Amino acid sequence: MSEASNETDSSYEALLDDATIYRLARRSSVVDKENGTFLPGAFLLEPDEEGLSVFPTETCTLTYAIQKILGKCHGVNILQVGDTRTLPVEGVTLDVVRKEDPMHPGMHAEIVGLPYIEDDRIRANRAAELLANASQRVWRRGEPIPEA
């Protein structure tokens, strides 16, 4: 496992600080059963990921985000891009960049710069905890899906 890059690839467009993004929970184990908020596990980088998949609210509706992976979506939280860039984790610099997904043109982005838990457990867990705390719940499984 190689350490995630802290450099933003110049071929990707960085989102503005005041932009907001949706993060979807694909596993029920990363959603608090009592209040539906995301647990830090929702923000840990998987070994096969370069960055955490997110959806900019300016181009992707909440309804679309939920329905994109409806069979696997257990919740949706929202984050301010600027909050991700200012996490106080030494040695970790995050950014949010557009990353084209042919299945969803213009609707996909990634949080990049996170360490893999296998490479740096302390920093990965701390960044995930801070991202979870900075995010707000907007939908969880069992609630009506908002109209587009």
Q: In 3D, which of 124, 122, 94, 86 has the Cα closest to residue 110?
A: 94
Q: Show the domain range for 126.
A: 20-140
Confidence of residue 2 (pLDDT cuts 50, 70, 90): very low
Flag whether 15 is in a domain: no
Flag whether 111 is in a domain: yes
Q: Structural domain tally of the chain? A: 1
Selected residue with higher pLDDT from 40 and 146: 40
Flag whether 2 is in a domain: no
φ, ψ for residue 55 (rounded to 5)?
-130, 115
Flag whether 1 is in a domain: no
Flag whether 13 is in a domain: no
pTM over 0.95: no
Flag whether 93 is in a domain: yes
Q: What is the pLDDT of residues 56-94, one digit of tens each?
A: 999 888 888 888 765 678 999 999 999 999 888 887 888
